[in-house]
Amino acid sequence: MNFYKKIIRSQKLRFKIMRMFSFLPEKTMIKLIYLIKTGRKPNLNQPKRYTEKLQWYKLNYRDPLMTKCADKFEVRNYVKSKGYESILNQLYGVYDNVEEINFNSLPNSFAIKANNGSGTNIFVNDKSEVDIEEIKKQLVIWLRPKKKSVYKEWCYYNIKPKIVIEKLIERDLNNDLPDYKFFCFNGKVYCLYTMIDYTDNHDNGKLGFYDSNFNKLPYRRSDYGEIKSHIQKPKNFEKMVEIAEKLSEDFPHVRVDFYNVNGKIIFGELTFYNAGGYTTFVPDEFDFILGDQFVLQKK
């Protein structure tokens, strides 16, 4: 855990403190947060680390297509345009206003998410056991105009807030959502990670990196424990790699996320700045290994 998280346990308070410095120029703010989160000054003139290159990416690569693909609703059209409509999760509705949502007409279980955020999800397993009015209050907050990202992730700035309601994806025998996050560079999968023991409490999660053939790599993120047990190669793994490479071909770098439920591939999202670009890896050399895959270009 980063030292600032140990000192300031509340995530809301941490964001509030960082927003106090949001008046700073983008480059200055990025350097400051990188220093706070990693304990290092970033080299943005000649970046070598993956995490440094992600900061450079924020500042120098600005393709409008990234905004479309960062939108968790609009990205569905991008996936369709690539010929993969069949992997989209079933959509129950998309809403600009909470009062538009008819909860009575929704099935007993469903997933709610904001189209413009990270971690803005509500999983409803049994509609009769939740407080709909409390859910509505949360959704009203999510629909408020989004402030500019503290982390300066520009592609989220101009996404109009919407509420997306989809089918609730079933969990596996370990009560996890089996998902796989592919790190793609110039349309090629280099590696991926998956997690276990994380769905209901991310702090308890264990994480493992794997190569493009699903061989375990000796690396992990410092904020999660290591997967030490054997994880079986998912069904249709090669198909996931194929789709990830097709969906990533328009970008220098993007993380492509899928769920895989007994071989059924379901699209998750496209993420351009993995963990905001502030991950610390164990061992540290992995930051440079990933950085070597990331060929920078301005746009």
What pLDDT, on a 0 to 100 scale, did the predictor assign at position 275?
93
Q: What is the pLDDT along the chain (299 residues), one digit of tens a residue?
A: 455 565 555 666 666 766 766 777 889 999 988 998 899 999 999 999 999 999 999 999 999 999 999 999 999 999 999 999 999 999 999 999 999 999 999 999 999 999 998 889 999 999 999 999 999 999 999 999 877 777 889 999 889 999 999 999 988 777 778 899 999 999 999 999 999 887 667 778 899 999 999 999 999 999 999 999 999 999 999 999 999 999 999 999 999 999 998 889 999 999 999 999 999 999 999 999 999 999 998 87
Separation CA 200–CA 122 (nearest Å) = 11
> Is the separation of the CB atoms in 13 and 257 below 8 Å?
no
CATH class of 42-86+170-299: alpha beta
Residue with tokens 């008046």: 23
What pLDDT, on a 0 to 100 scale, did the predictor assign at position 171?
84
- DSSP secondary structure letters along the chain: --HHHHH---HHHHHHHHHTTTTS-HHHHHHHHHHHHHSS----SS--SHHHHHHHHHHH---HHHHHHHSTTTHHHHHHHTT-GGGSPPEEEEESSGGG--GGGS-SSEEEEETT-SS-EEEES-GGGS-HHHHHHHHHHHTSPPPPPTT--GGGTTPPP-EEEEPPPPP-TTS---EEEEEEETTEEEEEEEEES-SS-GGG-EEEEEETT-PBPS-EETTSEE--S--PPPTTHHHHHHHHHHHHTTSSEEEEEEEEETTEEEEEEEESSGGGG---EESTHHHHHHHHH------
> Is the separation of the CB atoms in 205 and 195 below 8 Å?
yes
Q: What is the pTM of this model?
A: 0.92
